[in-house]
A = this chain, B = another copy of it.
Amino acid sequence: MADGSEKNAVVSNKKVIFKDYVSGFPKESDMAVTVDENLTLKVAGDSKGILVKNLYLSCDPYMRLSMTNRSSEIFGTYTPGAPITGFGVGKVIDSRNPEFKEGDLVWGLTGWEEYSLLKSSEGLFKIHHTDIPLSYYIGILGMPGLTAYGGFYEVCAPKKGEYVLVSAASGAVGQLVGQFAKLMGCYVVGSAGTQDKVELLKNKFGFDDAFNYKEEPDLNAALKRYFPEGIDIYFENVGGKMLDAVILNMRVHGRIAVCGMISQYNRDQPEGVHNLMSIVYKRVRIEGFATVDYYPQYSKFLDFILPYIREGKVKYVEDIVEGLENGPAAIIGLFSGRNVGKQVVVIAPQ
């Protein structure tokens, strides 16, 4: 079997296939690892395709939404029988697209398989800075990083000294939002689901405080304890009961940037949020946003974040599993909070 380094080689292609639409909590058995034999590592001449060898694959909460047979504007639906898709870092093996050439390192949407034929270059970014771990391009330097950047600096419109709450705070996005808040001179508290994560937030990422929401029977009371003055900014990753409690604790002219609602993704009927009238009392803005709207700012974001990474002033914690066959368990682990930090699947480390 060729390793893909030789053009026109014929290789096998391991894949994680999506079996059928999921309701409730997803299981490993909703996916299947299969192998296609006889993939020729060459893009057909009449296409604009780009053939990549996938190196790192990203596990992100939004992927659960694509496992449901309900379309939305921004998250497509997986096709039963086809590989699941997600963000990945890859190396170009062959290309008929003039913007990309053999050997280029790229990140963007790809398939959960060893080799993917990308039909267009839309949303595919070339990687120019390779002094940074390549896996970071599906984390701090990729979609989650841009999500934290656009969501915090643009949607939250933070000011120095403001009180900031981040939920799912040790995750791929939350850990960055907390660090950005500290860079801005805010007071930041994170919520997470284990004591280890709480320690990580305080000791590694420099959050001012953190708590384990699973040990707080009364979230409203917990928030009043951590924010006696109230909350100016809530970076929302979880939804449901946490959102309901947060709304009651917002300060006047507070902002809630809604990045996602992972606590709701496995429910057929989302929980109701009851306290919305409080956004009138406090003149609160709740705003959903999508990373794709910040793609045009990606190079500006790189200019911002790369020095912080190189100087060690912004840290990034990854939870890395090896091998495509361990991908299904890794993605499912997101919903039980098994991962500590950004969940990455390594397919072929450089």
Q: Does A283 contact B (CB under 8 A)?
A: yes
**Pair B276/A280 contact, Cβ less than 8 Å:** no
**Pair A280/B252 contact, Cβ less than 8 Å:** no
- For the side of the interface on A, what is the size category? 35 or more
**Pair A280/B274 contact, Cβ less than 8 Å:** no
Which of the residues B73, B278, B286, B289 comes within 8 Å of A287, measured between beta carbons? B286
**Pair B280/A284 contact, Cβ less than 8 Å:** no
**Pair B281/A289 contact, Cβ less than 8 Å:** no
Interface string of A229-270 (1 = CB under 8 A from B): 000000000010001000000001000001111001000011
**Pair B288/A252 contact, Cβ less than 8 Å:** no
Bound Cα distance from A276 to B280, whole angstroms: 17
CB contacts (< 8 Å) of A126 on chain B: these are none
**Pair A73/B272 contact, Cβ less than 8 Å:** no
Which of the residues B74, B273, B287, B293 comes within 8 Å of A284, measured between beta carbons? B287
CB contacts (< 8 Å) of A276 on chain B: these are 239, 243, 258, 261, 270, 273, 286
Bound Cα distance from A47 to B40, whole angstroms: 93
Q: Does A275 contact B (CB under 8 A)?
A: yes
Q: Does A202 contact B (CB under 8 A)?
A: no
For chain A, residues 277 to 332, give those with C-beta under 8 angstroms from any C-beta of chain B: 277-290, 293
A294 CB to nearest B CB, Å: 11
**Pair A288/B293 contact, Cβ less than 8 Å:** no
Nearest 8 Cβ contacts at the A-B interface: A272-B272, A279-B288, A280-B288, A72-B281, A285-B287, A286-B286, A73-B281, A270-B274
8 interchain pairs (CB within 8 A)?
A72-B278, A73-B282, A261-B277, A269-B274, A272-B273, A273-B273, A280-B289, A283-B289
- Contacts from A to B (Cβ < 8 Å): 72-75, 239, 243, 252, 258-261, 264, 269-290, 293
